[in-house]
Structure 1
């Protein structure tokens, strides 16, 4: 008989109750209301997202990376493993309890990724952070932006105004990236309209669906050319 889930902590949010649940030693869930946001035993697409988003930076000098969404830290762990010791990684997370979970009961899952000295956690909206960096000096631009949010691009995304996946948001991301920079995005399913918007903004786009069976999520990988200009 399967062990029952234990609620480790629950927090009221505008979208519902955010909960961390545990069953056994390494089986965790993060939920909001009845929806499962993260399952510690289902993380292959998150790991591939981090690997593809930052794999080109291992030999770079002091690369700067923005990660949107912390979750259980699997994407962050993959990002860190792909980067040199000189890297700077900024993680934007909406709820301050999530970094606490990643430094506490979830830490063993990722080798304490959230406590890595290369990591700075900012509590706030990643879309706002991208907009701010898009209009700042080039020294604040990123070599990679990795978005691992529980809602990825989908068929009902507002093609213009969506704050993360609409055309304006994509243009902001382009402006916040250095030449040759990468925008890597997790999605529950493939979204061809999102691919076309990325291409329209000047990105070279590829997609991956990690795994061989069962539910396979999508990783969108969009890269600027080495001479692409940031700014609008």
Structure 2
């Protein structure tokens, strides 16, 4: 068995912990403490986050998508595969080191996606980006925690609370969709989405692209 090598570390902006980028052969892992936030072998549900949204939105001229969390680029690459040429995929990544890793040791995983002319990459808090956008987006995709609570940064709790959900709805164009990735179900979050005025669909997807692995959950919340 090839041992893991820690390639780099990055403190969280609020000082609550440290991310570690690890490599074993061609496999990458990003860890926060004992929690593995992502692994390059498990891309299925992150890709589904974008595909499910594209399927439900259908064609829209000048479609604008906001992706919260760069990660290992799986959601971004899946989005680019289904978005039209006149679309924009805006990515908000809070931690600068994740962008550095994407252009450095994990460059092969991104397969040139960061250089796609449709991509706008910002080092920014996605909550602030959402709050500043009024009917700006056709879709908002969130994969910044392991579920609808602030794991990576405690301040992310606001994204999933009633106020954050109302701000997300305000940032969406009519009929737009907010999609949220989670490692498991959360019935309270489903209720909060409905309470904020969204029409909610909850989809179970598998971690592996081939259909195996853990069962993850994606909420698809459509604005009026």
* TM-score range normalised by the length of the shorter chain: 0.7 to 0.9
**Does the 8 Å contact 1:103/1:115 carry over to 2?**
no
Look up the match of 1:29: 29
Distance 1:61 1:23 in 2: 43
Matched, 1:178 2:173: yes
Shift, 1:110, TM fit? 3.4
Distance 1:192 1:16 in 2: 28
User: Could you say what the CA RMSD is over the residues aligned between the two structures, in angstroms?
Assistant: 2.0
Matched, 1:216 2:186: no
Per chain length, whose mean CA-contact separation is higher, i.e. which structure has more relative contact order (CA < 8 Å, sep 6+)?
Answer: 2
**Does the 8 Å contact 1:103/1:112 carry over to 2?**
no
Q: What SS is found at the alignment partner of 2:90?
A: strand
Look up the match of 2:21: 20
Shift, 1:9, TM fit? 1.6
Shift, 1:183, TM fit? 0.4
Structure 1 unpaired stretches of 5+? 155-160
Look up the match of 2:191: 196
TM-score (normalizing by structure 1): 0.85
Tell me which of 131, 144, 148 is aligned to 1:149.
144
Distance 2:83 2:57 in 1: 6
Look up the match of 2:99: 99
Look up the match of 1:157: none
Single out whichever of 203-212 and 39-48 deviates more from structure 2.
Answer: 203-212
Any idea what the Cα deviations from partners look like across 1:174-218, whole Å, max 9, x if unmatched? 000000100000012111111112112222111111126542111
Alignment of 1:35-184 (within 5 A): 35-57=35-57, 59-134=59-134, 138=135, 141-153=136-148, 162-184=157-179
**Does the 8 Å contact 1:57/1:82 carry over to 2?**
no
Q: What SS is found at the alignment partner of 1:11?
A: strand
Any idea what the Cα deviations from partners look like across 1:58-80, whole Å, max 9, x if unmatched? 63211111110111111111111
Q: Aligned residues, how many?
A: 213
Q: What SS is found at the alignment partner of 1:100?
A: helix
**Does the 8 Å contact 2:183/2:216 carry over to 1?**
yes
Structure with bigger gyration radius? 1
Structure 2 unpaired stretches of 5+? 150-155
**Does the 8 Å contact 1:142/1:177 carry over to 2?**
yes
Distance 1:36 1:15 in 2: 16
Shift, 1:105, TM fit? 2.0
Q: 1:19 to 1:223 in 2, by over 3 A?
A: same
Distance 2:7 2:157 in 1: 34
Single out whichever of 144-153 and 51-60 deviates more from structure 2.
Answer: 51-60
Q: 1:57 to 1:84 in 2, by over 3 A?
A: farther
